[in-house]
DNA sequence: AACACACCTGTAGCCACTACAGGTTCAAGC
DNA sequence: GCTTGAACCTGTAGTGGCTACAGGTGTGTT
């Protein structure tokens, strides 16, 4: 059995985060010691590991909740898992695309700046007027 | 003079957001009508436009606060502006790099999935064990 | 004068944590 | 057995950048 600190070390998750996961029912409440401290099993460790790794891969808490439910139904077809993963990949791809547009816009803005005083600063000028931009760089 | 709704339309900013910007002192409090409604000048419009455009380009509120202060000191050298912009560009670049790593990891995971049931799902397997991953995909 | 709609303030909620404050338990050393 | 100090406990509030109400007031048109 692991204390919360040991579990934290074993999974690279902070102690506060583990307690938070319990509060939002992402982690089940573990057994307690005589003095009311949490004691975790290997099952807990595996579940938290799965959660942390999924978080590191950018899945939302809600997506992870679904993934955990799905991974418990071992005999079911994994189409739902696949769909979740693909949807996430696509979202990441879109985010990359919009950040690339943004970076190019920032680059153009920065390159345009030839030093000198603020009154003639290209960066301030661009920020003041979107028509200086090439694209739409909508939501970021 | 513009009402808050007209200002919102003119800048593509939501009414609530304008009030929020006033609360956090990013926008100065405007004049009021006899009936206590906000009335904005062209200076307000320009400032809000600058803020919105900077937000669209991903600058934080704090960075924008600095940019606004700097842009008011017309005679100063624009090095500080340049530094702020470059720092932001670099942050965006880093974010792109880590998202690219992440996307590749997701792609590998998804490609590994050959259908079938959850018990043999490659996606679940990878999520359960980071050693299946190629890189570190640290903070996302 | 009536109506619809825009506006007002203040508060709570979103996401995924993080950071306290103020108290209790545990394990090691003496 | 006793003391120390780290680790633990609960509960609440804060982060960023808004967004969404609720319950009331002003404005402009017919």
User: Taking CB atoms and an 8 Å limit, are B99 and A99 in contact across chains?
Assistant: yes
A73: nearest CA partner in chain B: B118
Chain B residues whose CB is inside 8 A of the A131 CB are none
What proportion of chain A, given as a percentage, has pLDDT over 70?
98
Give the mean model confidence (pLDDT) for residues A52-56: 95
Q: Tokens in use for A14?
A: 């902070």
Query: Tell me, in Å, how far CA of A59 is from C1' of C26?
Result: 37
Judge if pTM exceeds 0.85.
yes
The pLDDT tens digits of the residues spanning B86-128 come to 999 999 999 999 999 999 999 999 999 888 889 889 999 999 9
Bases of chain C below 7 A from a protein C-beta are 6-9, 15-20, 24-26
Residue owning tokens 């998750």: A13
Closest residue in A to B129 (Cα–Cα): A50
* Chain-chain contact of B103 with A96 (C-beta, under 8 angstroms): yes
Nearest chain B Cα to A138, which residue?
A: B56
Q: What is the mean pLDDT of residues A123-134?
A: 89
If phi > 0 it is left, if psi is from -120 to 50 it is alpha, else beta; for residue A58 that is left
Whether B128 sits inside 8 A of A58 (CB atoms) is: no
Structure token digits, residue B64 = 């924008």
Mean pLDDT value of segment B7-19: 96
Contacts with B15 (C-beta within 8 Å, 6 or more apart), sequence order? B4, B5, B8
A17 CB inside 7 Å of strand D: no
> pLDDT band for position A138 (50/70/90)?
low
Mutation target vs B (from A121, A126, A129, A138; most B CBs, 10 A cutoff): A121
pLDDT in tens, B40-92: 999 999 999 999 999 999 999 999 999 999 999 988 889 999 999 999 999 99
Alpha helices in A1-140 (DSSP H): 4-11, 15-23, 42-56, 61-72, 79-112, 122-128
* A113/B85 CB distance under 8 A: yes
C-beta of residue A48 within 8 angstroms of C-beta of residue A7: yes
In whole numbers, what is the pLDDT of chain A averaged over residues? 93
In terms of C-beta density within 10 A (0-12 exposed, 13-18 middle, 19 or more buried), how is residue A135 classed? exposed
């Amino acid at each position: 059995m692991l204390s919360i600190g040991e579990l934290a070390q074993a999974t690279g998750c902070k102690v506060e985060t583990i307690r938070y996961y319990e509060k939002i029912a992402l982690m089940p409440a573990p057994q307690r010691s005589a003095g009311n401290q949490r004691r975790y099993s290997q099952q807990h460790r595996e579940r938290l590991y799965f959660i942390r790794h999924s978080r590191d891969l950018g899945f939302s808490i809600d997506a992870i909740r679904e993934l955990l439910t799905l991974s418990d139904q071992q005999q079911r077809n994994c189409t739902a898992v696949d769909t979740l993963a693909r949807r996430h990949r696509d979202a990441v791809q879109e985010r990359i695309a919009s950040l690339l547009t943004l970076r190019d816009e920032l680059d153009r803005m920065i390159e345009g700046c030839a030093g000198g005083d603020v009154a003639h600063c290209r960066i301030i000028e661009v920020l003041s007027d979107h028509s200086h931009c090439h694209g739409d760089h909508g939501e970021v």
